[in-house]
């Protein structure tokens, strides 16, 4: 045996919100295997099973070293029999049979392709799969009636299935910032979601908008959306009003993990020219952007000519479609909204589970309710919320569970 491989890793705490989960970790192959099974469970609407595999994966992400033998994991929480079996098989044989079978299965492939369409969830995808629809092209040929979101999803399928890069997120950030300052001076925007956790790519870009004077944020989203639409930045948008104040069942128990902020799920039209100009303005040390549509080692004229040729022959263009989520929160709820929308989804789930089971509290993206004291607890920062929950503060980059 190589020295060191027998070293027992200190046993980690079991809730992901009690430990740091960095973006870069030491057990990628094992985590990838568990992620496939988690994804498959989620697509089959087996949420409990999905969460079990996600928790096991997150535990491995928190480990400070590479695991070579399954015995090194003795005493660690979050690892059920099934996950341990998968880990053991990957360590011993390089692959796990169940994972390989899942990856190759027609159903898994079809469900992934169909839920990859914006506006299509597991239920709808499963119904279509049973009808023999396996791909977005099958769907188009089928003549099914699609709703507005799904039509946009099919139309921009290729773009929306490309990872969004940080430079693109920053470019969109400047556009949203401009929109917000035009319609309500003093309002501020914060980049949330995966990019706030330090990810270099994402499936979308998420923003939280607020105004330091409570109440000024009311009706803000409609104005922001109108401005963006008038400027030609929006390919699709669906705004949902704030339903928090009107709710009868009280703020402590949102019907699901969905919160009730005014929000907009949208698709931006990001011009690659625009992105380049904007990004150069923010970073004095000019970042070299590798555009998706234009080859870079050319003069601008050559590139532009080629790009316009491409747009005629192969559908390549000088712009791209990017998914963007925007949420508006009143200033008094900002810290909760920030914590709730920074993710990861598993980290959020773990925070709420910790709150209920270990503190008899209910955490949402609006408030924290203490059932013992029968009162709402206020907080002005994420640090305060962690403290109220009796947790060590975990910065966004440590929330990649
Ligand atoms: P996502 O944008 O789905 O995920 P992400 O940003 O972590 O990952 P990706 O890079 O792939 O985009 O969600 C971001 C956070 O927003 C997530 O923690 C859950 C939260 N969220 C809510 O709180 N309520 C909602 O209704 C939705 C859709 C998300
Ligand atoms: Mn996101
Ligand atoms: Mn409109
Ligand atoms: Mn999002």
Instruction: Decide if 16-102 and 110-155 have a common fold.
Output: yes
- Judged by its nearest atom, the ligand closest to the C-alpha of residue 199 is 1
The pair of structure tokens assigned to 187 is: 């309002």
How many A from CA of 379 to the centre of ligand 2? 24
Q: Determine which residue's CA is closest to atom 28 belonging to ligand 1.
A: 258
How far is it, in rounded angstroms, from Cα 274 to Cα 220? 25
User: What class is the 333-398 domain?
Assistant: alpha beta
Listed residues: CB within 5 A of ion ligand 2: 193-194, 202, 204, 206
| Radius of gyration, CA atoms only, the chain | 23
pLDDT of 165: 97
What pLDDT digit, counting tens, does each position of 15-50 carry? Answer: 999 999 999 999 999 999 999 999 999 999 999 999
121 close to ligand 1 (CB < 6 Angstrom) = no
Least Cα distance to 329 among 245, 180, 217 occurs for 217
CA angle 138, 139, 143 (to 5 degrees): 110
83 close to ligand 1 (CB < 6 Angstrom) = no
Find the Cα–Cα–Cα–Cα dihedral 52, 56, 62, 68, rounded to 10°: 180
pLDDT of 378: 96
pLDDT band of 279, cuts 50, 70, 90: low
173 close to ligand 1 (CB < 6 Angstrom) = no
Q: Is the pLDDT of residue 2 over 80?
A: no
pLDDT band of 123, cuts 50, 70, 90: very high
Q: Is the pLDDT of residue 124 over 70?
A: yes
What pLDDT digit, counting tens, does each position of 190-233 carry? Answer: 999 999 999 999 999 999 999 999 999 999 999 999 999 999 99
Contact 205, 193 (CB under 8 A): yes
Q: Determine which residue's CA is closest to atom 4 belonging to ligand 1.
A: 193
How many A from CA of 229 to the centre of ligand 3? 7
Q: Is the pLDDT of residue 296 over 50?
A: no
What pLDDT digit, counting tens, does each position of 76-103 carry? Answer: 999 999 999 999 999 999 999 999 999 9
Q: Is the pLDDT of residue 169 over 60?
A: yes
Q: Any idea which residues carry the catalytic annotation?
A: 204, 206, 325
How far is it, in rounded angstroms, from Cα 54 to Cα 79? 10
How many A from CA of 205 to the centre of ligand 2? 5
Please state which of the four CATH numbers 3.60.70.12, 1.10.150.110, 3.40.50.300, 3.20.20.140 is assigned to the domain occupying 16-102: 1.10.150.110
**Bridging pattern class, strands 375-377 and 262-271:** unpaired
DSSP string, 61-79: HH-SS---SGGGGTT-SS-
CATH 1.10.150.20 fits 110-155, yes or no: yes
Find the Cα–Cα–Cα–Cα dihedral 181, 183, 195, 357, rounded to 10°: 120
Q: What is the pTM of this model?
A: 0.89
- Sorted by where each begins, the domain ranges of the chain are 16-102, 110-155, 164-331, 333-398
Instruction: Fold for 164-331, please state it.
Output: Beta Polymerase; domain 2 (3.30.460)
How many A from CA of 195 to the centre of ligand 4? 10
How far is it, in rounded angstroms, from Cα 37 to Cα 41? 6
Share of the chain above pLDDT 70, in %: 84
For the chain, what is the mean pLDDT? 89
């Amino acid at each position: 045996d190589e020295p060191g491989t027998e070293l027992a890793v200190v046993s980690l705490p079991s809730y992901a919100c009690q430990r740091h989960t960095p973006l870069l970790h030491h057990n990628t192959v094992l985590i990838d295997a568990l992620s496939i099974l988690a994804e498959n469970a989620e697509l089959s609407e087996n949420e409990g099973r999905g969460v079990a595999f996600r928790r096991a994966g997150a535990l491995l992400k928190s480990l400070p070293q590479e695991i070579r033998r399954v015995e090194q994991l003795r005493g660690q929480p979050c690892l059920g029999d099934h996950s341990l079996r998968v880990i053991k098989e990957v360590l011993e044989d390089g692959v796990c049979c169940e994972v390989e079978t899942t990856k190759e299965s027609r159903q898994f492939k079809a469900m992934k392709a169909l839920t990859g369409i914006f506006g299509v969830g597991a239920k709808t995808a499963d119904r279509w799969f049973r009808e023999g629809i396996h791909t977005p092209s099958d769907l188009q040929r089928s003549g099914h009636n699609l709703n507005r979101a799904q039509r946009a999803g099919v139309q921009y399928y290729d773009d929306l299935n490309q990872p969004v890069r940080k430079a693109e997120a920053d470019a969109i950030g400047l556009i949203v910032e401009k929109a917000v300052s035009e319609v309500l001076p003093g309002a501020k925007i914060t980049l949330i979601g995966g990019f706030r956790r330090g990810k270099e790519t994402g499936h979308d870009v998420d923003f939280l908008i607020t105004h330091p004077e409570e109440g000024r944020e009311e009706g803000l989203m409609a104005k922001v959306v109108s401005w963006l639409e008038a400027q030609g930045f929006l390919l699709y948008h669906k705004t949902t009003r704030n339903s928090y104040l009107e709710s009868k069942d009280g703020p402590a128990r949102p019907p699901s993990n969905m919160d009730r902020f005014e929000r907009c799920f949208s698709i931006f039209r990001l011009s690659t020219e625009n992105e380049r100009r904007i990004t150069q303005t923010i970073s004095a040390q000019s970042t070299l952007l590798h555009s998706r549509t234009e080859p870079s080692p050319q003069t601008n004229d050559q590139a532009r000519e080629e790009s316009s040729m491409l747009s005629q022959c192969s559908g390549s263009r000088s712009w791209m479609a990017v998914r963007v989520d925007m949420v508006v929160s009143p200033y008094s709820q900002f810290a909760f909204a920030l914590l709730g929308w920074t993710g990861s989804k598993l980290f959020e789930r773990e925070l709420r589970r910790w709150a209920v089971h270990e503190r008899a509290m209910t955490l949402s993206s609006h408030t924290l309710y203490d059932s013992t004291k029968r009162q709402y607890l206020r907080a002005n920062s994420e640090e305060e919320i962690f403290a109220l929950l009796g947790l060590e503060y975990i910065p966004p980059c440590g929330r990649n569970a």
